[in-house]
Chain A
Amino acid sequence: MVELDHDSVIDLRGITKNYQMADQNFCALDNINLSINRNEYVAITGPSGSGKSTLMNVLGCLDNPSSGEYFLDQKNVAMQSEAQLAKIRNYGVGFIFQSFNLLPRASVLVNVMQPLIYRVMPNSERKQLALTALDRVGLSDKVYSLPNQLSGGQRQRVAIARALVTNPAIILGDEPTGNLDSKTTGDIMALFDELHDQGHTIILVTHEADIARHCRRVIRLVDGHIESDVINTKEPENG
């Protein structure tokens, strides 16, 4: 499992992201400075359009900031080649998408195996790891189903299993419980707690106060900048 120490794994310095929409310039992230240590359990909240998802995409190396520097594991992401970025996305980060982003024509098993396809290992090992991940999210009985045969909650769990299967140091979840009922939400959050206990760094985007309260640290974004950054004590105080 992941080694437990308190170096900062994520270090954002003056990260800004601008979008050119028609002839209007839209600033999704405005000079974000943020440091996240290993094994932190962070919630990013904020109203819609506040830049939560853009921040997640930058953290997951899916998007490049317009300016500023992003150090992941002490390495400047901007200096990495496309192939190195692919390796970071594959080995370093597990990304759970809000809209799942599953392959519609592939079975649950194939979907979960997909990140391992980009690694050199025997197929039997890929399958074994995928089955283990699916077992952890409680989908052992849906291995050969297609995504469209599953409920929203089940699809969400496939997406989580796909993020877990590579055993990444950092798990990024964009509204990971957004589509789930309260019972399943509880199960999923318990799973995140467990992953946190195992040493993973967990960062979740959420607009649900319950989820945010579950996390140890809550960062609130408004209009592309950090409005508050609070460490949760035992009692919840920020929503």
Chain B
Amino acid sequence: MANSLHAFIQGTKAAMLAISAHGMRSALTTLGIIIGVGAVITVVAIMESLSATITDQLDDLGSDMVTLQAHTNPEQEMLGKSNKLSYDDFLMLKAKTKNVSDMTATMRAFSLGTSVQYGRSNTQTQIIGTDSSYQRVINTYPELGRFLSESDDLRRRRVAFIGSTVAEKLNMPSNPTGEFINLSGDWFRVIGLAETRGKIFGFDQDNYIIAPFSTIRSLNGSQATDNIDIMFRPQPGASLDVIKRQMTQILRQKHKLSDEDVDYFKFTTAEKAKKQFAQITNTVTFVAGGVVGISLLVGGIGIMNIMLVSVTERTKEIGIAKALGATPQFILFQFLIEALILSLLGGVIGLALGYGLAAMIAMFMPGDGGVMVPLWAVALSFGFTTAIGVIFGLAPAIKASKLNPVDALRYE
């Protein structure tokens, strides 16, 4: 044991000397590992910070927010059916469901199309009809002006709360409140400008116009074709499953569905979207990780190559060491440690490089620009480079340790 420790310490010293004696060659050898580890760290760090940004944004949307939408299953679709959630459904749910806060209904303004005009500018956007409770459900707050009020809805006022992209595309003044915009012939007064939310996966979160639910409903005309989305938030501590069961029961009773009939609606949560997104980023991370893993393998072979050259080149030196009493174990340690140091050196430099690169790229990404290198990626990189050092250093080290002293000494 003491001998092994001694061989380890002295072997490390000898390895350090050998590495520094061939500075340039050592640097080139580690390059493969540097690039490999650097690439792994960059990819992982970017994926992690991207996913953290998105998760943050999804949290802003309210990860506990639940959307209830009409759902037509493929069988029904083939029969030409199209299920709808009506305003009556909403009112009934709002009256009967317990443990739910901030329930709100939204409606697409299909009669108004998607075109909006201001002065000579016009743009495409989505127009949502909803009421004042929407603000709390979706966490949308005004930058300027105000959100919809209850009286806006009661009086069917033609007012609009707009996202920042709409204001920008329409070249509106920096404070657009009080201006009038034209939605397919109907004039709406802008009462508020929303805080900018940014983009998720390239989807603009600020391209929308919100108008009072009753206004949109009357403009849509025929009430028979109402189709609304319902959003709500369970009260803190309340079980979402219980609420879902309750709502399902209410709606099924109202529509007199028999046991064979399937639900004509479905629940969606932000939590689910978050999970789906996490799945995507994990897949991308592992695929990218696998690809760059190959470059680590190539780097490892580079180390083995140089170690074999080094053993051959230093045959005489090994012969001297053996003649002076170095044990095979000592020689083995010396060359193994040399390979290990080379690959770990590559790992450390690669880690720094990858971190720097990720930080640079992060500056061009949405979010707060922070880079996170998860601990598992660091541990994995070091585990991998250590393994490479040992695996690819072993063959040359064994070769060196088995040299016959007299033959090694004769080598020129």
Q: Which residues of A are interface residues toward B (Cβ below 8 A)?
A: 57, 60, 62-63, 82-83, 86-87, 89-91, 95, 97, 101-103, 105, 114-115, 117-120, 162, 166
State in angstroms the CA–CA spacing of A91 and B14 once bound together. Answer: 21
Q: Besides A90-B324, A115-B324, 17 other CB < 8 A contacts?
A: A60-B323, A62-B322, A62-B405, A62-B406, A62-B409, A82-B327, A83-B328, A86-B328, A91-B325, A101-B316, A101-B323, A103-B320, A117-B326, A118-B10, A118-B325, A120-B3, A120-B6
- Please list the 5 inter-chain residue pairs (A to B) with the smallest Cβ-Cβ separation, ordered nearest first: A90-B325, A86-B327, A63-B406, A115-B324, A89-B325
B266 to chain A, nearest CB (A): 73
**Among B6, B21, B325, B406, contact of A86 (Cβ-Cβ < 8 Å):** B325
CB distance A87 to B324 under 8 Å? no
- Check if B321 is an interface residue, CB within 8 A of chain A: yes
**Among B317, B321, B406, contact of A57 (Cβ-Cβ < 8 Å):** B406
- Check if B2 is an interface residue, CB within 8 A of chain A: yes
Chain A residues with Cβ under 8 A from B329's Cβ?
A: 83
Chain B residues with Cβ under 8 A from A103's Cβ?
A: 317, 320
A223 to chain B, nearest CB (A): 21
**Among A82, A89, A120, contact of B323 (Cβ-Cβ < 8 Å):** A89
A-B contact pairs, 6 of them (CB 8 A): A62-B322, A63-B405, A87-B325, A89-B324, A97-B323, A114-B320
B335 to chain A, nearest CB (A): 15
A120-B2, A120-B6 are contacts. A101–B409 as well, Cβ < 8 Å? Answer: yes
- Check if B330 is an interface residue, CB within 8 A of chain A: yes
B interface SS class: helix
**Among B323, B327, B328, contact of A95 (Cβ-Cβ < 8 Å):** B323
CB distance B320 to A101 under 8 Å? yes
Chain B residues with Cβ under 8 A from A114's Cβ?
A: 320-321, 324
State in angstroms the CA–CA spacing of A115 and B330 once bound together. Answer: 12
State in angstroms the CA–CA spacing of A169 and B293 once bound together. Answer: 55
Chain B residues with Cβ under 8 A from A119's Cβ?
A: 325
For the complex, count residues of B whose C-beta is within 8 A of A.
24
Which of A57, A117, A162 has the most chain B CB within a 10 Å cutoff? A117
B2 to chain A, nearest CB (A): 6
A86-B326, A86-B328, A89-B325 are contacts. A117–B406 as well, Cβ < 8 Å? Answer: no
State in angstroms the CA–CA spacing of A102 and B320 once bound together. Answer: 8
Which B292-344 residues sit within 8 Å CB-CB of chain A? 316-317, 319-330
State in angstroms the CA–CA spacing of A57 and B409 once bound together. Answer: 11
State in angstroms the CA–CA spacing of A120 and B9 once bound together. Answer: 10
State in angstroms the CA–CA spacing of A166 and B323 once bound together. Answer: 13
Chain B residues with Cβ under 8 A from A86's Cβ?
A: 322, 325-328, 330
State in angstroms the CA–CA spacing of A97 and B322 once bound together. Answer: 13
**Among B2, B317, B327, contact of A118 (Cβ-Cβ < 8 Å):** B327
Chain B residues with Cβ under 8 A from A62's Cβ?
A: 322-323, 405-406, 409
State in angstroms the CA–CA spacing of A83 and B321 once bound together. Answer: 13
A158 to chain B, nearest CB (A): 13
Chain A residues with Cβ under 8 A from B6's Cβ?
A: 120
State in angstroms the CA–CA spacing of A97 and B410 once bound together. Answer: 11
Chain B residues with Cβ under 8 A from A57's Cβ?
A: 406
A121 to chain B, nearest CB (A): 9
Chain B residues with Cβ under 8 A from A101's Cβ?
A: 316, 319-320, 323, 409
State in angstroms the CA–CA spacing of A103 and B324 once bound together. Answer: 12
B142 to chain A, nearest CB (A): 74
State in angstroms the CA–CA spacing of A162 and B326 once bound together. Answer: 14
Name which residue of chain B comes closest to A168, CB basis: B325
A206 to chain B, nearest CB (A): 20
Chain B residues with Cβ under 8 A from A87's Cβ?
A: 325, 327
CB distance A83 to B2 under 8 Å? no
State in angstroms the CA–CA spacing of A60 and B323 once bound together. Answer: 8
Chain A residues with Cβ under 8 A from B317's Cβ?
A: 103
State in angstroms the CA–CA spacing of A62 and B405 once bound together. Answer: 6
Chain A residues with Cβ under 8 A from B3's Cβ?
A: 120
Name which residue of chain A comes closest to B13, CB basis: A117
Name which residue of chain A comes closest to B21, CB basis: A105
CB distance A118 to B324 under 8 Å? yes
Which of A86, A91, A95 has the most chain B CB within a 10 Å cutoff? A86
Name which residue of chain A comes closest to B7, CB basis: A118
A222 to chain B, nearest CB (A): 22
State in angstroms the CA–CA spacing of A105 and B321 once bound together. Answer: 14
**Among A102, A105, A115, contact of B325 (Cβ-Cβ < 8 Å):** A115
A167 to chain B, nearest CB (A): 13
Name which residue of chain B comes closest to A61, CB basis: B405
State in angstroms the CA–CA spacing of A119 and B6 once bound together. Answer: 8
Name which residue of chain B comes closest to A101, CB basis: B320
Name which residue of chain A comes closest to B324, CB basis: A115
Chain B residues with Cβ under 8 A from A105's Cβ?
A: 21
State in angstroms the CA–CA spacing of A105 and B22 once bound together. Answer: 12
State in angstroms the CA–CA spacing of A101 and B324 once bound together. Answer: 10
State in angstroms the CA–CA spacing of A118 and B14 once bound together. Answer: 12
Chain A residues with Cβ under 8 A from B324's Cβ?
A: 89-90, 95, 114-115, 118, 162
B325 to chain A, nearest CB (A): 2
CB distance A82 to B328 under 8 Å? yes
State in angstroms the CA–CA spacing of A57 and B323 once bound together. Answer: 10
Name which residue of chain B comes closest to A64, CB basis: B404
Name which residue of chain A comes closest to B402, CB basis: A82
B14 to chain A, nearest CB (A): 8
State in angstroms the CA–CA spacing of A205 and B316 once bound together. Answer: 22
**Among A89, A91, A120, contact of B322 (Cβ-Cβ < 8 Å):** A89
State in angstroms the CA–CA spacing of A181 and B215 once bound together. Answer: 116
